[in-house]
Amino acid sequence: MSQRIKTLVHHGLVFAVQEDQGGIRSSRITVDNNQIYMHCLQDQPPPPHAHTLQVSEVVGARDPSSTMVHLDLGWGGSTRGRVHIRLSPNTPAARQFVLLCTGHTGVSYRNTKLHGVWNKGMPGERVWGGDYEGKGGEGGAGIIDTSGGQYRESGRAGTVLWRGYGGAAMAAQFGITTRDCEDSKVFPDVFGEVVSGLEVVRAAANHSDIKQVTVVDCGIVLNQ
């Protein structure tokens, strides 16, 4: 981005737009702590007098599976914090994750609920989300083929997992580990890791009802 555009971003005057048969969709571009964010696309035009850029201009030729995304988690009527996730290259689940964080295909993780905590309070504790269809953990159909790819294994807290079972009907679901596994146990189907904000995910895991935790917003980090 040019210096002029960066100045406009600081003033909240820049939006990325995408136009298709359904109309114009727009995404806020913001700056926080010297990081520039493109937020999830909304089914509405940008405000009057905003400076607009095409989504393709903003994202460019970026490899969607080696980028950084963000999830803003909230409960109790307020946003509790931002989670930054670095995605792994050569993993179809990472490419899908980017599409669902930007809303590029029309569906997204925005306003979805987390739906489960496994091994709560124990090694390998993790939260699950990604059911954008609102089926309480029984939905979240894959929007691309997530099989194949070079998935890793990890047993560390902050690992981001693809739900590699349950079939295509749940293939958009993801898990984030909040505690290290014990001994040499590892999780397969790893496609990313939390680089900041793990304390927010841990607080969500400790909330009295995980199903009250919402992905308030999501998107990608542009300058990384």
Over 90: is that where the pLDDT of 15 sits?
Answer: yes
Q: Say if CB 178 and CB 36 are below 8 A apart.
A: no
Tell me the percentage of the chain whose pLDDT exceeds 90.
78
* pTM for the structure as a whole: 0.94
Q: Quote helix, strand, coil % in the chain, to nearest 5.
A: 20, 35, 45
Task: Spell 8-46 as b/e; 16+ CB within 10 A means b.
Answer: bbeeebbbbbbeeeeeebbbbbebeeeebbbbbbeeeeb
Summarised one tens digit per residue, pLDDT across range 96-124 is: 999 999 999 999 999 999 999 999 999 99
- Dig out the tokens for 17 from the structure: 């737009």
Over 70: is that where the pLDDT of 36 sits?
Answer: yes
Residue 196: per-residue pLDDT: 98
Summarised one tens digit per residue, pLDDT across range 58-89 is: 886 556 556 899 999 999 999 999 999 999 98
Q: How many CB atoms lie within 10 A of CB 195?
A: 14
Residue 61: per-residue pLDDT: 57
- Dig out the tokens for 25 from the structure: 């969709």
**What is the average per-residue pLDDT within 207-213?**
97
Considering the segment(s) 64-221 as one domain, its CATH architecture is Beta Barrel (2.40)
**What is the average per-residue pLDDT within 135-141?**
95
Task: Please state the domain extents for the chain.
Answer: 3-59, 64-221
